[in-house]
Every structure is written in C-alpha cells, then in structure tokens.
Amino acid sequence: MKLHFVASTHPESTSRLEDLSLQYGQHSVDEADVIVVLGGDGQMLHTMRESISHGKPLFGMNCGRVGFLMNDFSDADLRERIRTAETAPLHPLRLHATDVSGVTHSAIAINEVSLLRQTHNAAHCAIYVNDVLEMDMLVCDGVLVATPAGSTAYNLSAHGPILPIGADLLALTPISPFRPRRWRGALLPAGSEVRFEVLEADFRPQSVTADNIEFRDIVSALITQDDSITIPLLHDEGHGLSKRIISEQFTA
C-alpha cells in the first residue's frame, strides 16, 4: 500500500509528517493508494477539495484539537489500520452565487454553505426550494445548508439537527433568526435545490461561504448536492463517522 502524506503548517503536524514519511515512505499523489492527512478538520476539508480530482480515499490523523473528521494519531501499524478502516462516502455541496456586479462565483463545500450578514444590519433573504418560494422573508444573522458530515459543525452550533451519514438529507438552518422568531429550519431531501435571494442587497450586504471560501456582496446563492463527486473518508474500524454522529447526539 503506497501512502501520500499531507500536513497542516502546525509544527506538530510537520514534525509527524517527516517521521511518517521516513517510516512508511512518501509517494506522489498519483502513485499513492491512500492520502494520509495530518492536522485537524480544517486541513482535512482543504485536502478533500484538493483531492477530488484524484479520487483517492483519505485517512486523517488528528494533530489538532477537536478533529471530528480525524482518527486518533498513532504511527504504529498504519497500513493495517487503513486496510481495516470503515469508509464513509461523502457528497459535497455545489454553490453558484451571483454578486451585485452580476459576476457568478462557484465553489464546493464539504460541510456547509452559509449566507451571512456583512454589517450590523440584519440579513433579509427569501428562501426557494426547487424553485418554490417557501419563505418570503427571513430576518436573521444568516442561514445555512449543511451536509450530514457537516451537520455536527457550524450547523450544530446554530442549533440545527444532527444528520446520520447515509440519511440522504440536507439541513436548512437559520442562524439567530429574528423573524419568523420560532422557525428552527427544515430537513430537505438531498436532491433538493435551495436558493437564497438577498433582499435590500445595497442596504443589507451579505456574503456567502462554502466552508471557508467566501464571496461578498451577494444577491443570490444556489446550493445543490453534487452526487457526481464521492469523497471516500476512512475511519478506524468501530469508530466510523456514522457512529461518531450517533454518539454526538448524546453529548451534553
């Protein structure tokens, strides 16, 4: 099994990258069977996007803090861990956003796409699902669409639901909603097309982010799940992403 190691710029990650490369060998991405990611969730998300064109499975080892997408770090029996690992096939979201100048921006997101206010003024937006106007005005700090893998990230902090891997659902979750005051969001079939239309874009400027990729001064954002892309994420046997997501629902 040929491995390609990538690491964040944190000193602990770069040190472990050097040690593991000496121990297991460092192969090019094209030659490798598996990409091993050293760092935290941020590095994993970055590597996921970079690796889509290669179609290689990713096995992460945590050198950061939370590392929800990562496995525990150990330099022992790495190839055997990878051979027996469980696979979570992830599908990203695809964003097409148009700004006030009429320029269209595109990006993919593993976790979520978020529409956010840019100033002290609350965000006002309309929400369409499959070209049907479902909410004519949401007054909020923002609103997001999350994948099952991303449902335990920003979505959970915004009091959105946790989605099991394989649920074939997306979470539509408001961020600090003011009107409708008691609206908690919606669960949508994974094939849904969600569109946010910004209201009063000049007076209430809003940005959109696909994970950590930001576009500012947006007038509309279209979000769909891209089923043509599958990212195989590997976890240690018995500690797969599905199990982690179930356990997270019982964490205070």
**Strands of the chain, DSSP E:** 3-7, 34-39, 58-62, 86-90, 93-99, 104-109, 112-117, 123-129, 132-140, 142-146, 169-175, 186-189, 194-198, 206-210, 213-215, 218-225, 231-235
Query: Amino acid identity, residue 90?
Result: L
Q: Region 42-55: what's the mean pLDDT?
A: 89
Neighbours of 211 (CB within 10 A): 25
Q: What is the pLDDT of residues 68-90, one digit of tens each?
A: 889 999 999 999 999 999 998 89
Q: What is the pLDDT of residues 200-223, one digit of tens each?
A: 999 999 999 999 899 999 999 999
Q: Quick one: 93-225 is in which CATH superfamily?
A: Probable inorganic polyphosphate/atp-NAD kinase; domain 2 (2.60.200.30)
d(CA 68, CA 46): 15
Average pLDDT, the chain: 93
pTM of the model: 0.84
For 3-90+230-248, the fitting CATH number among 3.40.50.10330, 3.40.50.12160, 3.10.50.30, 3.40.50.300 is 3.40.50.10330
Ordered by start, the domain boundaries in the chain are 3-90+230-248, 93-225
Give the confidence band of 240 by pLDDT, cuts at 50, 70, 90. Answer: low
- Is 41 among the catalytic positions? yes
Query: What letter represents residue 49's amino acid?
Result: R
End-to-end Cα distance, the chain: 40
DSSP conformational letter for 162: P
**207, HSE (Cβ side, Cα atoms, 13 Å):** 10
**Given this chain, do its domains 3-90+230-248 and 93-225 carry the same CATH topology?**
no
Q: Which of 19, 33, 41, 211 is catalytic?
A: 41
